[in-house]
Amino acid sequence: MPLVYCGACSHAPGMTGRAERADTQTRQALEGAFRRMGDDIRATRPDALVVIAAEHFANFFMNNMPAFAIGMADSYEGPIEDEAFLRIRRTTVPGNKALSRRLIEKVMQTVDVAYAEEWKFDHGISVPLHFLTPDYDLPIVPANINCQGPPLAPLARAWAFGEALRNAADSVPERIALIGTGGLSHWPATPDSGKINQEWDREFLRRWSANDREALLSYTDAETYREAGQGGFEIRTFIAAAAAAKGARGTIDFCEPVPIFAVSCTLASFKLPGI
Amino acid sequence: MSLYQVQKLIYQLNRDPRTRQRYADERDTVLADYDLTHEEIGALQRPDIGLLYVLGVNGQLLMHFAALHRIEWTDYLERMREGLRQHGPVREGVYAVTGYEGVEAHEARLRAERETR
């Protein structure tokens, strides 16, 4: 069944953990945008949601760091973070091990992906799910791109991973929705937390909306680090989602810089043909 | 190699409740499991968030280590700034400071921009 939904969103832990410290109007607009995205996903009647995240040392460390990984379990626990810090109650989220396995086998045709039968969600997945599927009633297939511990996979490989996920989703009878989660420019968890390069974000989203492969892959990590901070390495998740959209054009549904959340909070989606 | 050991301990503390319990009950025994310098042990024991930041601990690990010690977000950011004042620039890794006006000034600037739109 062809992919039924493809989008991307922010996963900043401040969106839940420091929610009340943002301007009320902006916060309400952001939560409204998340509700709309959740409704749009549900409207496509998905059997599972693939979440391509940039995890933050919940599962993988520099002793054995996969460039790409996909979860293969019937359930996942999360968030791993202190509940008082993230303000999301720890819970069990359904997965689908058999479906994961079929997707992984297909992805492996072109990308050497690691698989994990144990996976703890961190804010990279738990924050989006808190807003998008608050009842945790949709099976999740977690996928990860290493955006934390250099050396990082080149952007072209993140694109290849997105393409492979799309081909895998299209090959199974289930209805698969997919989102990438991550930040654009940001300097999280440093004294610069809150710094945002709006101009850089706008240009990235212009390239993303146009689904311009060449322009998206032309960033170097040195340039991203200089202009968009170490958090900018997470564009890999947005790029993988763009590849999964297979040429479809994107729409930016919400994008507002919120310094206390440390990013331009962004929700965006692709118009998939026939959906 | 030593920064790697500091980060590995924090990684285990962040993700494993049993390691957290052991750390609460017998911290020195847990610390002895890792190949750490005296400076690193001291920074972990106090805890000195500013020094750990300067040593190069990845922020995605460090912010949760701070939360584990019930250090609130604004205090966490201030402790890193204090670390820079006391110990100098970040020595390793990609979490170096680059200069920023601060959240309050930034938000005031964004509000002013919105009002003139």
User: Got the DSSP string for A182-230?
Assistant: --SS--TTSTTTT---HHHHHHHHHHHHTT-HHHHTT--HHHHHHHHTG
Q: What percent of chain A has pLDDT over 90?
A: 98
Task: Indicate if the alpha-carbon torsion angle B48, B49, B52, B53 is positive or negative.
Answer: negative
| B11-68: pLDDT as tens digits | 999 999 999 999 999 999 999 999 999 999 999 999 999 999 999 999 999 999 999 9
Centre a 10 Å sphere on the Cβ of residue A97 and count the other Cβ atoms it contains. 15
Q: How many angstroms separate the Cα of A152 from the Cα of each of A62, A67, A205, B100?
A: 12, 7, 22, 26
Which of A30-34, A52-56, B91-95 is predicted least confidently?
B91-95
**Residues whose CB falls within 8 Å of the CB of residue A149, separated by 6 or more in sequence, listed in order:** A61, A62, A65, B58
Q: What percent of chain B has pLDDT over 90?
A: 88
Rounded Cα distance between A141 and A128, Å, is 14
Nearest to A167 by CA among A113, A105, A106, A104: A106
What is the pTM (predicted TM-score) of this model?
0.96
Which whole number is the average pLDDT over A25-44? 98
Rounded Cα distance between A97 and A245, Å, is 24
pLDDT number for residue A161: 98
| Nearest chain A Cα distance for residue B44, angstroms | 18
Given its phi and psi angles, is residue A95 left (phi above 0), alpha (psi -120 to 50 degrees) or beta? Answer: beta
Amino acid identity of residue A262, one-letter, is A
Rounded Cα distance between B29 and A88, Å, is 32
User: Got the DSSP string for A65-111?
Assistant: --SEEEE--SEEEE--S-HHHH----EEEE--HHHHHHHHHHHTTTS
| A161-180: pLDDT as tens digits | 999 999 999 999 999 999 99
The full set of domains in chain B, from first to last, is 2-115 (1.10.700.10)
Pairing of strands A5-9, A176-181: parallel
Query: Is B64 close to A193, i.e. CB distance below 8 A?
Result: no
Q: What residue of B is the nearest CA neighbor of A188?
A: B59
What values do phi and psi take at A92, rounded to 5? -105, 130
pLDDT number for residue B117: 79
Q: In this structure, what token pair is assigned to residue B52? A: 């750990």
Write out the H or E segment, with its range, that includes residue B26.
none
Which whole number is the average pLDDT over A248-254? 98
| Nearest chain A Cα distance for residue B28, angstroms | 23
- Contact list in A for residue B15 (CB cut-off 8 A) is 57-59, 80, 120
Average pLDDT, whole number, for chain B? 94
| Nearest chain B Cα distance for residue A246, angstroms | 32
Q: Out of B11, B80, B96, whose CB is closest to A57?
A: B11
pLDDT number for residue B95: 87
Q: Out of A81, A190, A259, whose CB is closest to B97?
A: A190
Which of A207-211, B30-34, B94-98 is predicted least confidently?
B94-98
Nearest to A231 by CA among A202, A190, A266: A190
| Nearest chain A Cα distance for residue B100, angstroms | 5
The full set of domains in chain A, from first to last, is 5-270 (3.40.830.10)
Query: Is B97 close to A192, i.e. CB distance below 8 A?
Result: yes
Which of A119-128, A249-258, B93-102 is predicted least confidently?
B93-102
| Nearest chain B Cα distance for residue A183, angstroms | 13
Nearest to A30 by CA among A48, A44, A50, A10: A10
Number of A/B CB contacts below 8 angstroms equals 87
Nearest to B60 by CA among A149, A121, A66: A149
The answer to whether A52 and A178 are in contact (CB under 8 A) is yes
Q: How confident is the model at residue B96 (pLDDT cuts 50, 70, 90)?
A: confident
Query: Does residue B1 have a pLDDT over 70?
Result: no
Rounded Cα distance between B76 and B57, Å, is 14
The answer to whether A57 and B58 are in contact (CB under 8 A) is yes
Q: State whether residue A194 sits within 8 Å of chain B by CB.
A: yes
Query: Is B11 close to A61, i.e. CB distance below 8 A?
Result: yes
Rounded Cα distance between A68 and B60, Å, is 19
Q: State whether residue B60 sits within 8 Å of chain A by CB.
A: yes
Query: Is B107 close to A259, i.e. CB distance below 8 A?
Result: yes
Q: What residue of B is the nearest CA neighbor of A59?
A: B15
Centre a 10 Å sphere on the Cβ of residue B5 and count the other Cβ atoms it contains. 15
Q: How confident is the model at residue A274 (pLDDT cuts 50, 70, 90)?
A: confident
Would you call A137 exposed, middle or buried from its count of C-beta atoms within 10 A (0-12, 13-18, 19+)? exposed
Rounded Cα distance between B30 and B22, Å, is 7
Which whole number is the average pLDDT over A241-264? 97
Q: Out of B58, B64, B98, whose CB is closest to A192?
A: B98
Query: Is A225 close to B97, i.e. CB distance below 8 A?
Result: no
Query: Does residue A46 have a pLDDT over 70?
Result: yes
Query: Is A193 close to B77, i.e. CB distance below 8 A?
Result: yes
Query: Does residue A49 have a pLDDT over 90?
Result: yes
| Nearest chain B Cα distance for residue A80, angstroms | 6
Residue B2, helix vs strand vs coil = helix
